[in-house]
Chains A and B, each alone.
Chain A
Amino acid sequence: MTRPRNYQTEAVIIKKTRLGEADSILTMYTFDMGKIQGFAKSLRRPRSKMAGHLELLTHSKVLLARGRNLDTITGSQTITAFLPLKSDLWLTSYGLYVIELVNQFTAEHVESPALFRLLLDTMHNLCQEETNKESTLRYFELHLLHEVGYRPQLQQCVTCKSPLQPVTNYFSPVAGGVLCPNCGPQQALSHPITTNALKVLRFFQENDYDTINRLKIEQALSQELEAIMRGYIKYLLEHDVKSVDWLDTLRAQMKQADASR
């Protein structure tokens, strides 16, 4: 069967690269084709009819025409605009972090409707006013890792398979999960994880946004969770996530502003 020349799909725009004078290449995460790239002609001109529908962090219906190397985007219509993600400094930064992770962890043309669902749910959850943004990010990270095959083992010691006791265990990025106090210290790069942190990670892993939104997490615990997930993600990607630096910059600035007040 020959593939049709034109096709339509639902996508979230996750990356934009400038090309030539006014064109762009977009990276999109789609419902039925995974990550794909598309060429958008004249997207950067003010009169572009598609520009507003193809901004980063937008959920759009996209029409594409097959090309020799790259498919060309011929039309687009916003499904969800996620306006809060585009008009708040922090929410934009969180949103950019989420789409950077999706871009880094996925290969082109590997479909995963579950990951697409997770991406949309995460963007929706970030837009809700009363949700804890840090928890949202941790939940997203854990479930993203699950979808791409790096789900951390949190139930039993990765090395000796013994059930984990409610004591301080060890998290090891190398082993891809938690180690018991006997095995932990022997593994390179492993660091202690408190019982509470382990419980919260398990809770995130096994529940959905509706449930985790009800959980209140103290600052110290939140920081521990972030450090664990950052370390694991950095180990898996073998490089830093760029938008993390920006989140750190914003946090440092907020601390400074609070101190001078």
Chain B
Amino acid sequence: MNQRSVPAADAINRLIEELNKLPGIGPKSAQRLAFYLLRAPREQASLLADTILTVKQKITLCSTCCNVTDTDPCPICRSDQRDQRMICVVEQPQDILAIEHTGSYRGLYHVLHGAISPTEGIGADDVRIKELTGRLQDGAVYEVILATNTNLEGEQTALYLNQLLSPLGIKVTRLAHGLPFGTELEYADDNTLTRAFEGRHEL
């Protein structure tokens, strides 16, 4: 922020400073947002303020799947429309939004809140793997789908989970690796292409 005294009211400066702390918001954007809010109708501003507070007060982690939720258990875990025998393991709550948007999966989820990353010092105990194994003890689940990211950390986490869960007699599957829709083959890397060939299927 500008170190010289800025000729604006203190309250506005404070707002600019707070907005500046948000990811991707620099000093100029923060200033623009602050002055927009200043001019915006009172209801809009209080709605924003209330929504932020509600999120901070009400949102907790679901005690079953570790997804973010305002009721515990979360709507997905509570629903009787969903297949209780399948668990899809993802890294972040945002991943559930992406999968739910497709509408092609009707089972349950489990959020790890990260991936194993040995070089960053993130081990198996730093992500929510214990909560997952706890859910599998009663034998009601017959398939665990590993939907961690397809980078090295996500892959490492999937391989580790496979080693951990296979002895329990549960079917462990991994989302397919292949060519993303709408891209050109010539830019594909060796890893993706090799796996795309391995996973080819008859039309």
Q: Which of B116, B118, B152, B159 contacts A88 (CB 8 A)?
A: B159
Closest Cβ–Cβ distance, residue A156 to chain B (whole Å): 36
Judge if A7 is at the interface, Cβ distance under 8 Å: no
Q: Which of B120, B121, B163, B187 contacts A89 (CB 8 A)?
A: B163
Q: Which residues of A contact B64 (CB under 8 A)?
A: none
**What CA separation (Å) do A78 and B164 show in the bound complex?**
32
The A-contacting residues of B in range 75-103, CB under 8 angstroms, are none
Q: Which residues of A contact B155 (CB under 8 A)?
A: 86-87, 92
Q: Which of A15, A89, A250 contacts B119 (CB 8 A)?
A: A15
Asked if B191 and A92 make an inter-chain contact with CB atoms under 8 angstroms apart, the answer reads no
Interface residue range, chain B: 20 to 34
Judge if A243 is at the interface, Cβ distance under 8 Å: yes
Asked if B190 and A52 make an inter-chain contact with CB atoms under 8 angstroms apart, the answer reads yes
| Contact of A52 with B118 at beta-carbon distance under 8 Å, contacts A21-B24, A89-B156, A249-B124 already known | no
| Contact of A245 with B123 at beta-carbon distance under 8 Å, contacts A21-B24, A89-B159 already known | yes
Comparing A53-61, A199-207, A223-231, the segment that makes contact with chain B is A53-61
**What CA separation (Å) do A53 and B200 show in the bound complex?**
22
Asked if B189 and A52 make an inter-chain contact with CB atoms under 8 angstroms apart, the answer reads yes
**What CA separation (Å) do A97 and B120 show in the bound complex?**
11
Judge if A100 is at the interface, Cβ distance under 8 Å: yes
Asked if A20 and B23 make an inter-chain contact with CB atoms under 8 angstroms apart, the answer reads yes
| Contact of A246 with B118 at beta-carbon distance under 8 Å, contacts A46-B180, A52-B189, A78-B189 already known | yes
Judge if B183 is at the interface, Cβ distance under 8 Å: yes
Closest Cβ–Cβ distance, residue B196 to chain A (whole Å): 11
**14 residue pairs A–B, Cβ–Cβ below 8 Å:** A20-B24, A47-B182, A49-B187, A52-B189, A55-B151, A55-B152, A55-B191, A78-B190, A81-B191, A86-B152, A92-B152, A99-B119, A243-B118, A245-B118
Closest 10 CB pairs of A and B: A52-B189, A246-B118, A81-B190, A243-B118, A89-B159, A242-B121, A49-B187, A56-B152, A100-B119, A96-B118
On B, residues with C-beta under 8 Å from A are 23-24, 116, 118-121, 123-124, 151-152, 155-156, 159-160, 163-164, 167, 180, 182-183, 187-192, 194
